[in-house]
A = this chain, B = another copy of it.
């Protein structure tokens, strides 16, 4: 028997649960999705940073040649940065073998709180790969939704439910998974929207905001379930791809 907890809102993060758990962080729109794309496109690593000035200093200290400064505020690229937070800005030609210093609003804030504990990063694009990885390990799982400006965001909750339901299904024949209230809710939300992500993105607040900025193609990209079979792992301040 193992436990699966899903923390639907960033305010729900219980520090006590971090140690000894398999941790998953979710920011579907768009940090999770962009990180997966960047790693599949061959980026060497990604260094998430909370503040803009800190990101600039870090990028400078690393040297311009192999470093890109990436991130957004209110959905838009930060002035003076190389790349924004759209996965479409991260093709191989731009990011291969580069170190990306990344500064986003919600995803980076969550990772800053998880600093010091190894965490897997998940979106819809790599949900299946994350489930396979978690299923191959032992232990209780805690999934954290980045949310939006400190509150609940629907697409992260649905994605959390995708991971929970996927793990439960994968382990069905050999191990019982005991779901927390948040995990039960997430699973129900996955059952409601998991097979209709475009429909989800038509109603979810942050998706509507991104569409209003002209990022409809990002939404289509983020909705491609299991299109990027990568497992990004955040440890000691760096995100790298888990070697298969």
Chain A residues with a Cβ under 8 A of chain B = 7-12, 14, 148, 150-154, 157, 179-182, 184-185, 188-189, 191-193, 203-206
Contact = CB atoms under 8 A, between A and B. Distances in A.
B180 A157 contact: no
Nearest to A152: B182
A42 B206 CA distance: 46
A184 B154 contact: yes
A6 to B, nearest CB: 9
Q: Decide if the interface of chain A is mainly helix, strand, loop or mixed.
A: helix
Contacts of A191: 192
A203 B185 contact: no
Copies of this chain, whole number:
2
Given A9-B12, A154-B182, A184-B204, 11 more contacts: A7-B151, A9-B9, A9-B152, A12-B150, A152-B182, A153-B181, A154-B184, A179-B203, A180-B205, A188-B189, A188-B192
Contacts of A157: 181, 185
Nearest to A151: B12
A81 to B, nearest CB: 28
Contact of A181 (B152, B181, B188, B192): B152
Nearest to A155: B181
A66 to B, nearest CB: 39
10 contacts: A8-B8, A8-B9, A12-B151, A151-B181, A152-B181, A152-B182, A153-B181, A154-B182, A184-B203, A188-B188
